[in-house]
């Protein structure tokens, strides 16, 4: 597989991360404004997209494939960590911000959402890079 060097614009990524966070929080705060399917899965999908973007922001020269792999592994780790229920971590998970980051309980459907969110980020980045190079 041929990978080309990429350098991400951190300002652009910061703006996109902000938009994704707002959309994700909005999907959780106002689910009644969305179709049921989107309201149910948008938050987790956008969470994984944000993970992809944050990794790309932090490591702007990593290939898209490496960023996607790290984001998927991180997402998988977070989801599997939700199988662990000790009193101390369940107490921490009661805080909304913590629950938004590390979740509360394991769901198989979250793995699909995470894969979709990371794929959206990777495909978007590949399309954007190809478009920019064609200019």
- pLDDT, tens digit, for every residue of 9-53? 999 999 999 999 999 999 999 999 999 999 999 999 999 999 999
**What DSSP character marks residue 60?**
T
According to the model, what pLDDT value does residue 112 have? Answer: 96
According to the model, what pLDDT value does residue 23 have? Answer: 96
User: What is the rounded distance in angstroms from the CA atom of residue 49 to the CA atom of residue 21?
Assistant: 10
Per-residue pLDDT averaged across 111-120, rounded?
97
**Cβ-proximal residues to 103 (8 Å cutoff; 6+ apart), any chain:** 78, 79, 81, 82, 93, 110
**Judging by beta carbons within 10 Å of its beta carbon (0-12, 13-18, 19+), is residue 39 exposed, middle or buried?**
middle
User: What is the rounded distance in angstroms from the CA atom of residue 119 to the CA atom of residue 49?
Assistant: 8
Per-residue pLDDT averaged across 78-98, rounded?
91
The confidence band for 1, taking pLDDT boundaries of 50, 70 and 90, is very low
Q: Are 118 and 75 in contact (CB under 8 A)?
A: yes
- pLDDT > 70 fraction of the chain, expressed in percent and rounded: 96
According to the model, what pLDDT value does residue 4 have? Answer: 55
User: What is the rounded distance in angstroms from the CA atom of residue 125 to the CA atom of residue 135?
Assistant: 16
- 3-class DSSP state for residue 34? coil
The confidence band for 2, taking pLDDT boundaries of 50, 70 and 90, is very low
């Amino acid at each position: 597989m041929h990978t080309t060097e990429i350098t991400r614009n951190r300002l652009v990524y910061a703006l996109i991360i902000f938009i994704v966070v707002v959309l994700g929080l909005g999907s959780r705060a106002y689910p009644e404004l969305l179709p049921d399917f989107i309201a149910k899965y948008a938050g987790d999908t956008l969470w994984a997209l944000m993970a992809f973007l944050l990794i790309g922001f932090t490591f702007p020269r990593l290939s898209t494939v490496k960023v996607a792999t790290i984001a998927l592994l991180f997402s998988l780790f977070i989801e599997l960590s939700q199988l662990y229920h000790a009193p101390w971590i369940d107490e921490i998970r009661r805080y909304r911000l913590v629950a938004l980051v590390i979740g509360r309980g394991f769901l198989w459907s979250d793995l699909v959402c995470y894969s979709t969110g990371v794929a959206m980020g990777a495909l978007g980045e590949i399309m954007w890079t190809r478009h920019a190079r064609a200019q």
